[in-house]
Amino acid sequence: MSLTDNDWYVEQWEDGQSSIGLRLTEAAKVHEEQSPFQKIAIYDTQSFGRLMTIDDLVMLTSRDNFIYHEMMSHPALFAHPNPKRVVIIGGGDCGTLREVLKHPGVEHCLQVDIDERVTRIAEMYFPELCDSNNDPRAELAFIDGVKWMEEVEPGSVDVIIVDSTDPVGFAEGLFKVKFFKTCLRALADPGVMVQQSESPLFHSGLIAGMHKNLKAAGFDAVNTLHFPQCTYPSGWWSCTMAGKHVDPGKPRLGDASEKDFPTRYYHADLHRGALAVPVFLREAIDAE
């Protein structure tokens, strides 16, 4: 990351030898702190609203976060026949929690994020993402998600959403077979897991490796969905779903088309289209 003389926030993407720049307002940085786990900063931009960075990497902006949060939640929930108990690992900004609780059938959603400061800062600077935090169905736990998954009661969760940062540091373990096995154990029968899986263009090998690891962990079916996310590396992002005795590639699109809550990006036809991955990604997955 660098702040140029022209007051641009610039993040360089080493994997793709490219970068993105967001022009800042005169106020520029409005908050910065070092939590026990990471550096969190908030900027004001001229066209993308508020910007949150963690360890100098873009986490979300006011303008485009809805795409990510909707695609991390609604496809997985509509892939499950009757989701009632949901767990989010990560997701400290609470945007995914908000989308999950739009589903009236969800009875309880636990968000497990190791860093409470991400949530408290989101409540200050992204209050629109946190308006479901006081929903009686919501529960926030600020503990290690990997450890929680190892200790949770088997078969106690219908849907697991792993809304993690990039697979480095303490998030690296979230992409391993060992973690996926604990998720499979935690899921009821049937159950669905979804995890953010980086850029199809820059990280096709990582996505292919996730397919291999999820199947090695014992999941029956694995599907990757892709969607635009212009402030993330390459501007193109993905999430990967895995099913326990359910095929996430065969969602309840009839129910999705009749949903009684608003979305800005997600709808049933888009869900169907997002399941169709490009040839190069399919070849990478098949080669694993």
Name residue, tokens 């485009």: 64
Peptide bond into 104 cis (omega under 30): no
Task: Give CA angle at 79 (155, 211), nearest 5°.
Answer: 80
Residue 125 CA to its chain's centroid (Å): 19
Q: Which of 163, 189, 247, 286 is catalytic?
A: 163
Which of 55, 57, 7 is CA-nearest to residue 29?
A: 7
How many Cα atoms sit within 13 Å of 4 on the Cβ side?
A: 11
- Annotation marks residue 163 as catalytic: yes
Cβ proximity of 42 and 49 under 8 Å: no
Name residue, tokens 């940085």: 29
Contacts with 202 (C-beta within 8 Å, 6 or more apart), sequence order: 13, 15, 16, 233, 234
Cite the active site residues: 163
